[in-house]
Amino acid sequence: MSTIQAVVLAIVEGVTEFLPISSTGHLIMVSSLMGIGKDEFTQFFEVAVQLGAILAVVVLYWRKFFRFRDWKFYAKLVVAVIPAAAFGLVAKEKIDLLLINPLYSALTILGGGFILLFIDNFFHRSKVKEEKDITFTNAIMIGIFQAAAIIPGVSRSAASIIGGMQQKLTRSLAAEFSFFLAVPTMVAATGKKLYDTMKENPDVLNAANMKVLAIGNVIAFVVAFFAMKMFVDYLKKYGFKNFGWYRIVMGLVFLLMIKMNQIR
């Protein structure tokens, strides 16, 4: 992977990580389009570059995130991350196969678009408006929804926000909790990917590749920081419908490109 390719993927990651359009799906498609989709380091990069975007959450919401006396806040995040962690461990091999096949991502991006077209019609009466009012039951249910995002193209953001709305959280609170939940989820995912890579092919983690990864994380951090701020405001005003149309269009474009052998 060249530095320019890393920059492109980092921008894609920063823009899409917190939007309900699937960052993983977009990374798989873009890396495949650039001809590096099946490269071992690219597969590691697509997971590890998310750390830069996740750090943006900690910086943007540092007042809420660093409340060490409020142990329940951290406990809720731990509880919510358990379903995805368990599902990931059980289905690791099948997920790895999905990650290298762009067709699955294209289909899930397309299918998810139709769901987002109508999702706002399902949840009207929000009762939970503040983070302190989120219960442990709410947290575990949101975590179960998030577990579906282990499948490439589903979108961790979309799944966890919809899970939050299903649990009567307002759209903006569901989005914020999704941001917070991304931190332990993606740290765990990156740690697992790092462990597997070091065990199976440590040569991938050479100095040149680590430099590329560092550049990617810095760019992903900056882009994600601004993307998050705009997303919450947009979601409050307009909901999910336009994201649904976007996913449908992109899903069809990706399927067409796969059909034409532009993406493999």
Q: Is 77 helix (H, G, I), strand (E, B) or coil?
A: helix
Q: Give the C-alpha distances (Å, rounded to integers) separating 50 from 46, 147, 159.
A: 7, 17, 17
pLDDT of residue 250: 92
pLDDT of residue 168: 92
pLDDT of residue 145: 93
Fill in the DSSP letter of residue 80.
H
Per-residue pLDDT of the chain (264 residues; tens, 9 = 90+): 899 999 999 999 999 988 899 888 888 888 888 888 777 888 888 888 988 998 998 898 888 888 777 889 899 999 999 998 888 777 766 776 666 678 888 889 999 999 999 988 888 778 888 888 999 999 999 999 998 888 878 888 899 999 999 999 988 899 889 989 988 888 888 888 888 888 888 888 899 999 999 999 999 999 999 998 888 888 878 889 999 999 999 999 989 988 888 776
Give dist(CA 254, CA 133) in Å, integer. 41
Give dist(CA 220, CA 216) in Å, integer. 6
Fill in the DSSP letter of residue 202.
G
pLDDT of residue 5: 93
Q: Which of 181, 170, 166, 144 is nearest to 232 (CA)?
A: 170
Fill in the DSSP letter of residue 49.
T
Residues in contact with 200: Cβ distance below 8 Å, sequence separation at least 6, in sequence order? none
pTM attached to this predicted model = 0.85
